[in-house]
Structure formats: structure tokens, C-alpha cells
A and B are shown apart, each in its own frame.
Chain A
Amino acid sequence: MHIPDGFVNAGTSLAVGGVALGTVGVALRRTREVLGERQVPLAALTAAFVFAVQMLNFPVAAGTSGHLMGGVLAAVLVGPWAGALCITVVLAVQALLFADGGLTALGLNVVNLGLVGALGGYVVFAGLRTLLPSGRVSVPAAAGLAAFASVPMAAAAFTIELAIGGNVDVAIGDVALAMLGTHVLIGIGEALITTTAVGAVLAARPDLVHGAAADDVRLELRPAVSTSVG
């Protein structure tokens, strides 16, 4: 379940919606700088993949399930800005066609999953990559750890939104604790799925993984190989 209408009041939803709109605007501009024509199908498929996996709720605790958020997954595959757009497209399809996630709450969900989850998660990923030793394992490992962190990060963002503009009469401290606790568990699932998916694409076509592009590529000049003719 994404945030439905009614949890957060109209004013806060609108303000956060403005932030969401701004984020999408920047994401579109930045994506234009880097996304070549040939990468369009991959980006679109990444969005579709996130949609599919978000349908797969997995149990995390008694009576509670979680589902993939997909922000770090998308960001590592197609870059942070295109990744944020992937998440936004998924959320829009879900809210407009599947009644999953409120309409006035769409901005909240875009900020939490797209800005905090994808972009914020990518910042964590990039930071981890500078810390981890370089090598084939570092990309999926960093992606997994960043994915793990991104889920409670998004949960914290919701808690802040609820604290600022909640339409509800609750003890925010209790909510914060409960949200973080649950979403740390869900983060484990997110990490496993993200590591697996990134690892799979990396094994098949590492050039398709944006997050691996920073790897040092050493080019050597070699003498031309002579070919025997006839």
C-alpha cells in the first residue's frame, strides 16, 4: 500500500507535491543529458520490472508484509535521474489506474520513493562505492546495502510528513519507532532482490549497469595483430 489520501492534510500534500514536481522536472532535464535512444527500452523495462516486483509482497513479521520499493535498483541500472523517473512512472500508473496510492498523496509517494528512495539511495550507493574496494562484487554489494538503507529512509520521510501535516491523532514517536522497525526488516528483502537483479544484469551485460560505469577502464595500445592472407 502506498500512502492513501487522508493520512496527510491537503496543505502538506500540496507542498510536498511541489517538491515532487520540481524533482521530476530536474530528473527530466538531467536524463536528457545522458539517456541515449538505445537506452530507452532498458529504462522502460526497468519501470515495468519495478511495477511487477512491487506486486510481490513478502512476509517480514507476524501479520506484516513488505514489497520492493525499487529505487536503488532503478538508479543503479539506468542512473539516478532516470531511476527516479522510473519510480514516478510506476507510482503514477498505480495511482491512476490501480487505485494504489492516493491522488493527492501522489506527491508524497513520489518524494518518499523517488527522491528519498531512488535519488537518496543512489547517494548512499555512490558513497559506498568509494569506500568499498573496486571489483566486480562491489557494485551488487553497494547496491544491496544502499537498497537496505533506502527503505527506512523512505519510511522516515513519511513519518516526517505525518509529523508536519498528519490528519491523524497519533503519538509520532510511536509511529516513528514502528515504521522504522518494520521497514528495516523490509529493507532486507529490498537488499536481496536488488543485489540479485543488479548482479544478474551485471553478469550478462555490465555495460547496461549505469552504476558500474565508474569502474576504471584501462585501455592498452597493442601492436596490430598480423593476419595471414591465403
Chain B
Amino acid sequence: MSAIPTPTERRGAGSRLWFLGLAVTLLLAVVASSYASDDPDGLEKVAADEGFRASAEDHDLAASPLSDYAVEGVADDGVSLALAGGLGVALTLLAGGVVFWTARRRSAPDRLP
């Protein structure tokens, strides 16, 4: 391997980094999420303290199978959360991929790969 990475080597290194990033992302969503604080977040706490928490309407899509980061039909709470996290990462990756693919720069065909 030459001291200066070839374009192919750099692309390989980029892919490795991407998969490492994906692994970290999944680890966070699937494992670390179980350790997240259960306390209400800033907005919810302020709403509760200031007396307008109850004004929140039920969510129109509360019947969604992934509602509240729990997978419908999965009995174990921990597994349910982990699964929801994993699915969420996958779905966001997919949605993001679609959005950014359609939003990408269209250029003239590359002169070089």
C-alpha cells in the first residue's frame, strides 16, 4: 500500500467509517436507549409546572404500532424499546436516503470516476 492513499483506498476508508457510524448509531438507539432518563423533558416539565401540560391533545396517530417508542405486540418493555429504536434508525436512514438522493446535485457525467 502506497504512503498516499489511492482514491479506491480512500473510498474504502470512507465506507468503513460510515459503517462504524452506523454501528454507533444502532448501539445508541438499541442499547443506550434503555438507560435514558425517564424524567419528563424540559418542555414537558415546564408545561406541567406552568399548568398547560393537560392542553396537549392526544396524538392523531397514537394507534401507530411504534407509538411512544414501543413496538406493539412485544411484551417485554426493554425489547420493545430496543426494537423501536432499531426500526427508527432504519426508517430514518431510509427516509433520509430518499430525501437526500432526490436533493443531490445533478452534474454533467463525471470525467473521471
Contact = CB atoms under 8 A, between A and B. Distances in A.
B98 to A, nearest CB: 9
A98 B92 contact: no
Interface in B83-106: 84-85, 88-97, 99-101, 103-106
B46 A179 contact: yes
Interface string A1-32: 11111110000000000000000000010011
Contact of A4 (B37, B49, B59, B93): B59
B56 A59 contact: no
Contact of B40 (A64, A95, A174): A64
Interface residues of B, number: 62
A51 B29 contact: yes
A93 B84 contact: no
B22 interface: yes
Nearest to B36: A57
A196 to B, nearest CB: 11
Given A55-B85, A63-B39, A63-B40, A40 B104 contact: yes
Given A63-B40, A99-B64, A28 B103 contact: yes
A175 interface: yes
B95 A174 contact: no
B96 A103 contact: no
Interface in A47-89: 47-53, 55-60, 63-67, 82, 85-86, 89
Interface in A32-51: 32-51
Contacts of B94: 44
A52 B25 contact: yes
A217 interface: no
Nearest to A185: B42
A53 B26 CA distance: 10
Contacts of A42: 18
A102 interface: yes
A90 interface: yes
A174 B50 contact: yes
A58 B37 contact: yes
B12 interface: no
A59 B41 CA distance: 9
A1 B95 contact: no
B39 A41 contact: no
B60 A204 contact: no
A42 B104 CA distance: 12
B92 A85 contact: no
B46 A52 contact: no
A6 B55 contact: yes
Interface of A: 1-7, 28, 31-53, 55-60, 63-67, 82, 85-86, 89-90, 92-100, 102-103, 155, 158, 166-171, 174-175, 178-179, 182-183, 185-186, 204-205, 208
27 contacts: A5-B57, A6-B56, A31-B104, A35-B103, A35-B104, A36-B107, A37-B104, A41-B18, A43-B100, A44-B99, A45-B21, A55-B33, A57-B39, A65-B36, A65-B39, A67-B41, A89-B92, A89-B99, A93-B92, A95-B61, A98-B88, A99-B64, A100-B68, A167-B55, A169-B52, A178-B49, A182-B42
